[in-house]
Amino acid sequence: MEVVFYAAEYMGLKFICVNELSQRKLRSMDAFFYTNWNFTRSILLAMLLQFGAFSAVADTVTDADGEPGSQLIETIETLKQQIETHRSDLPDVEGESQKALFLQIMTQEDELRTALADLLDLISEQGKGNGQTAPLKKRMTQYVEEQAVVVREDINTLREMLSQLNETDRSEMSFEEVEIHIISIVQINDFLDILYAAAAENIERQKALKLDFSANLQRLEALLTDRAEVLEGFVELTSAQIDLLENRINRIPATAAGSAAEKSQQDLFLLEEQMDGSARSLAAMVVLMANAGLETSHYRLTLIEATGDFGSHIFNLKVISGLFSKLYDNSLEWLANNGLSLLLKLLVVVVILLVFKVVAAMAGKLVRRGLDNSGLSLSTLLKDFFVSMATKLVMLIGFLIVLSQFGVEIGPALAGLGVLGFIVGFALQETLANFASGLMILVYRPFDVGDLVEVAGKVGIVKLMSLVSTTIVTLDNQRLVVPNTKIWGDVIRNVTAEKTRRVDLVFGIGYEDDIAHAEKILTDIVESHPLVLKNPKADIKLHTLNESSVDFVVRPWIRTEDYWTVYWDITRAVKDRFDQEGISIPYPHQDIHMYGVPAEALPQVSS
């Protein structure tokens, strides 16, 4: 059976190809050809005749021994006689035998048109070489005029057959019978496509022979327009039926009986076959109409809407304009039908989100109050973390409720979030490392909000911390956001973690100054300062004999928050008292001793 399909496709009859059929269609097509052997046999015979005719025409063109075109004309006459004989037999046969005989006639007419094309090429070649073409032109004119009548009659015959098939009641047919019926309709439409193309080719021959073709062209344009209108109606109707049936299939419960679902799937399959045939024929009409200079944008739009295949149609400006116009009209229609419902849903969504925002804020306050009253030693950062998680969890619940208002099932959505989380986690490994470091910081609490810390080589006060980063403000009021991995993976220096702190100061006096007197002055200054703690006791010791000075270290203990106040106060007080007591604060200097140089040779420095 597959041989039959490929043979028909080879002959240019646009027959259904095997690779476009499902297995179910193959079975029904096998049954069709098995129960209609006459039709099958006629296809095979037509194929053999096609090969024979091609050989005859080729031999005629290349091996003519008599006058130019004589054997071509002989072949044409032979084909005409065979066609007339078969046409005379048509009234004597019925049913499938009649269809088979008609197919044979159409095959021979296709061969005849091939021979006519070769004859026209021969006339054109002889005309270029100044040969005698008048007899051939006269004969060709006769053939062309005959072809116009024959093609017109064949179109009328097929249109009658198509009308009878479309009017057939299919309600009592089985699935296989309906499928065969639709295949017959598609076949006849394909044959009509060929005939309309043949009519257009014949008009081109009339143009080449400089004959009057206006009447035939006007008739063809009317036929093309009429058929395009009919096919457009079929395409739109079938498309609407497919949409309705697909909606019905989608509403069938998964637990429903298999017979209902199978029947709907069979009906959908048949409608799609009908749609494919009608859309293919409408596309063929669009091509012919475009070649004839007729307006086709409306039909192109129908094809795009029905099949979703833009193809070459999108390059037509009117089609693009029509698509945008259709989109605008559909949008207005959708808003008219669903605008009020959508507005109400949006209002409900806004109310739900506002309510859950208030609830989230209340939940955050309750969590913070509970943590504050729990007596647990929790850092501010950890408390903020728990509060943030509570508020976000409440908002997530609100968001899921909003999704349910739009018909989104929560279960599959949560499963999808899980899968998405896995994918995102795999892609954002660095972020997850920051997350883990943030958890470690929250658990071990190396610092808290408000602490002065040195992390990642930066010094500043901790203002905010999330699970992925920590925000600090430097002493000169610059905001820094440091990834948690850089903090946890390095040394953390918390300057304000302890309640007390030691201030380390160094003061130098000259070698000629009184050490005991200087030490007493420093002790008086430290002990008299109100912010210096009595316990632990301050250390005031002679520490270093430097190159230019004798250095004391002064190390009082203070509360952490008083560090800089004490530092600055003691520094100022030491300078003032040393000046009052005549104790020098030396600066670095060097004495140079020169030996063996006369004094008069040295440069004189004026005072």
Over the stretch 350-363, which tens digit does the pLDDT of each residue have? 888 899 889 998 98
pLDDT tens-digit profile of 254-305?
A: 655 566 777 788 888 888 888 888 888 888 888 888 888 888 887 887 888 7
How far apart are the C-alpha atoms of 189 and 339, rounded to whole Å?
Answer: 43
569 and 459 together in one domain: no
Question: Which pLDDT score is estimated for 575?
Answer: 94
Task: State the DSSP code for 555.
Answer: E
Residue 472 shares a structural domain with residue 567: no
What's the pLDDT at 254?
60
Average pLDDT over the chain reads 77
For residue 414, name the pLDDT band (cuts at 50, 70, 90): low
- Classify residue 95: in a domain, yes or no: yes
374 or 492, higher pLDDT: 492
Burial class for 151, CB neighbours closer than 10 Å (0-12, 13-18, 19+):
buried
The rounded Cα 512 to chain-centroid distance in angstroms is 86
> Regarding beta strands 557-559 and 479-483, do their DSSP bridges make them parallel or antiparallel, or are they unpaired?
unpaired
Same domain, 93 and 18: yes
DSSP state of 373: T
What does the DSSP assignment read for 447-511? --TT-EEEETTEEEEEEEE-SSEEEEEETTS-EEEEEHHHHHTS--EETTSSSEEE--EEEEE-T
What pLDDT does 435 receive?
77
Q: Could you tell me the pLDDT band of residue 507, with boundaries at 50, 70 and 90?
A: very high
pLDDT in tens, 540-579: 999 999 888 999 999 999 998 899 999 999 999 999 999 9
* Cβ-contact 473, 479 below 8 angstroms: yes
pTM of this prediction exceeds 0.85: no
Residue 421, domain member (yes or no): no
Give me the torsion for CA of 64, 69, 70, 76, rounded to 10°.
110
Mean of pLDDT values over 170-184:
84
* pLDDT tier, 521 (very low <50, low <70, confident <90, very high otherwise): very high
Give the C-alpha separation, 16 to 434, whole Å. Answer: 62
Q: Which of 221-235, 396-410, 521-535 has the highest mean pLDDT?
A: 521-535
Does residue 37 surpass a pLDDT of 70?
no
Specify the pLDDT at position 595.
74
Residues 453 and 577 in one domain: no
Q: How far apart are CA 299 and CA 545, in angstroms?
A: 104
Q: What is the DSSP letter of 552?
A: E
Q: What's the pLDDT at 6?
A: 30
Answer yes or no: is 355 within a domain: no
How many domains does the chain contain in total?
3
Q: What is the Cα 92 distance to its own chain's centre?
A: 61
Q: What is the pLDDT of residues 111-151, one digit of tens each?
A: 888 888 888 888 887 776 555 677 778 888 888 888 888 88
pLDDT band at 444 (very low <50, low <70, confident <90, very high): confident
Say how far residue 130 (Cα) sits from the centre of its chain. Answer: 63
The CA R_g of the chain, rounded to the nearest whole Å, is 50
- Region 500-524 average pLDDT: 94
- 471-474: long-range contacts (C-beta < 8 A, 24 or more apart)? none
CA atoms of 99 and 156, how far apart (whole Å):
15
**Residues 14 and 128 grouped into a single domain:** yes
In this model, does residue 505 exceed pLDDT 90?
yes
Q: Which segment, 7-16, 37-46, 255-264, 266-275, is predicted with the most confidence on average?
A: 266-275
Tell whether 458 and 572 lie within a shared domain.
no
Residues with Cβ < 8 Å from 396, sequence gap 6 or more? none
d(CA 222, CA 243): 32
Note the pLDDT of residue 597: 66
Q: In the prediction, which pLDDT does 420 show?
A: 62
Question: Domain boundary at 132, 167, 197, which?
Answer: 132
Q: What is the pLDDT of residues 583-594, one digit of tens each?
A: 998 887 666 777
Mean pLDDT to the nearest integer, 153-162: 85
Q: From 77, 294, 114, select the one nearest 201 (Cα to Cα).
A: 114
The whole-number average pLDDT for the span 374-398 is 80
Contacts 24+ apart (CB under 8 A), 322-329: 322/297, 322/298, 326/301
Residue 47 pLDDT: 38
In a domain, 339, yes or no: no
Mean pLDDT of 180-200: 87
Among the candidates 494, 517, 550, a domain finishes at: 494
Chain segment 296-338, per-residue pLDDT in tens: 887 887 888 777 666 655 456 666 666 667 667 777 777 777 7
The dihedral built from the CA positions of residue 201, 204, 205 and 211, taken in this order, carries a sign that is positive
- The CATH number given to whatever domain includes residue 532 is 3.30.70.100
Does the structure show a pLDDT above 70 at 42? Answer: no
Query: What's the rounded Cα separation, in Å, for the pair 182 and 177?
Result: 9
Poorest-confidence range of 39-43, 78-82, 159-163?
39-43
CB 205 within 8 A of CB 116: yes
Token code pair at residue 43: 């296809």
For residue 403, tell me if it sits in a domain.
Answer: no
The backbone region for 414, taken as left when phi is positive above 0, alpha when psi lies in -120 to 50, beta otherwise, is alpha
Most confident of 7-11, 248-252, 388-392, 423-427: 388-392
Alpha-carbon distance of 581 to 268, in angstroms, equals 110
Distances in Å between the Cα of 180 and the Cα atoms of 175, 259, 530 are: 9, 22, 109
Residues 518 and 568 in one domain: yes
Residues 104 and 46 in one domain: yes
Q: Are residues 552 and 470 in the same domain?
A: no
Which of 4-13, 229-238, 247-256, 563-572 is the most confident on average?
Answer: 563-572
- Asked whether 203 and 227 are in contact (CB, 8 A), the reply is no
Same-domain status, 119 and 9 = yes
Range(s) of the domain holding residue 42: 1-132
**Shared domain check, 517 and 538:** yes
- The pLDDT assigned to 322 comes to 63
Whether residue 32 is predicted with pLDDT greater than 50 in this model: the reply is: no
User: What pLDDT is recorded for position 558?
Assistant: 94
Length of the chain: 607
Q: Are residues 26 and 121 in the same domain?
A: yes
Q: CATH number of the domain that 472 lies in? A: 2.30.30.60
| Whole-number pLDDT of residue 24 | 35
What confidence tier does 68 reach under pLDDT thresholds 50, 70, 90?
A: low
Residue 244 belongs to some domain of the structure: no
* Token code pair at residue 285: 């009409």
Residue 4 corresponds to which amino acid? Answer: V
Residue 112 lies inside a defined structural domain of this protein:
yes
Q: Give domain status of residue 390, yes or no.
A: no
Residue ending a domain, choose from 132, 149, 180:
132
How many CA atoms are closer than 13 Å to the CA of 50, on its beta-carbon side? 19
